[in-house]
Amino acid sequence: MTLMVGFLLLTASTILTIAVARMGVMEQRIANNELRAKEAQQAAQSGLDYALAWLSTNVWSAGTEIPPPPQISASGDYRYGIRLTLDDRPGCLRVHSEAHATGDESIYAAATQCFQQKRPLRDAMARGVPPLVVGGCLSGVTGNANVYPSRCDPGRDDGCDRASVVSSHPLSCLDPGSLYLNGGSLRGNAFEGTAWEYLFAISQEEYKARAEDGDPRFLWITSTLRWDSDMGQPKEPIYMVFTESAGCPEVSGSVSVYGIVYFAEDAGCGSRGWGDAAVYGSVVFEDALEGLTARGRLYHWSWAVDNEEGASLNIVTSTHRVPGSWRDWEPDG
């Protein structure tokens, strides 16, 4: 009898030991799965942080791919690869980040967030601005300046705009005189309101504040400038605003400008020669352009970025997250 009781106790203790061991293994697996799930989710979130950093300095447009983020190292020699997909949504740019454990696709997490990029130019200017914008009539042109329209092909590109000169006034008051339009067109009634409003998405006050804060891409010029050096680069365009008090710059030599040159009303630049200056982007006059004597060259932005992939005239000044939950930004389907 004693032997039988001992045997039963031994059997019970063995079963209990096995059950406890199995429970320990299961708890360890659960804890490990929870750890990997947290790591994967953190990796997916880091993909959104990476996208925010990239979008803060780069203009994104449909078809543009963000360079892949580096892999994320985790505990136990685990590494997570991140895949980002972007698409335009009304009012925002949606980024979907997926993280997969290297060698184990079953460990997976995703995160989605919407971002907004703040840019100084209107969205319609993403592909460039007509090389000459006039907020009034064009007349009395005696200089033989060359104006080069966009290099796009209207036969292949539905959004191609090969205007060389646009104005807020009717076509009847646009007389190119001796301007060489190089196959481009004149377009009247191209916009309503001011030339500034046609071009910029920010106010003059905000622009001036950025210039006064020391942003080298924004120049607010209030005094006479001798222009004898290149300004901007194809991947780093610059915006130059000449106020009424600045008048017209004295251009010396064959200088090049990559960006926007804007002249306020009554700047008096119509009859001023520009030397052999070349502007890649756009020259904008807030009022009528009369008696132009310049012989320079005005190029649509596409001429500057032929070999500069991803360069945009509409730079990014800041990028921020749009408030919302994952349910708001979850991919369709």
pLDDT value of residue 326: 56
- Region of 66 (left: φ > 0; alpha: ψ -120 to 50; beta: rest) is beta
pLDDT value of residue 31: 55
Q: How far apart are CA 269 and CA 250, in angstroms?
A: 10
pLDDT value of residue 330: 62
Percent pLDDT > 70 in the chain is 83
Q: Enumerate the domain spans of the chain.
A: 2-119+318-329, 123-303
pLDDT value of residue 186: 95
As a whole number, the mean pLDDT across the chain is: 82
Q: How far apart are CA 10 and CA 22, in angstroms?
A: 18
Angle at 301 (CA atoms; ends 298, 302), nearest 5 degrees: 115
Q: How far apart are CA 237 and CA 249, in angstroms?
A: 19
pLDDT value of residue 196: 96
pLDDT, mean of residues 283-289: 91
Q: Say if CB 75 and CB 143 are below 8 A apart.
A: no
pLDDT, mean of residues 159-164: 87
In three-state secondary structure terms, 140 is coil
In three-state secondary structure terms, 313 is coil
Statement: residue 242 has pLDDT above 70? yes
Q: How far apart are CA 125 and CA 91, in angstroms?
A: 17
pLDDT digits (tens, 9 = 90+) for 113-146: 999 888 899 877 767 889 999 999 998 888 788 9
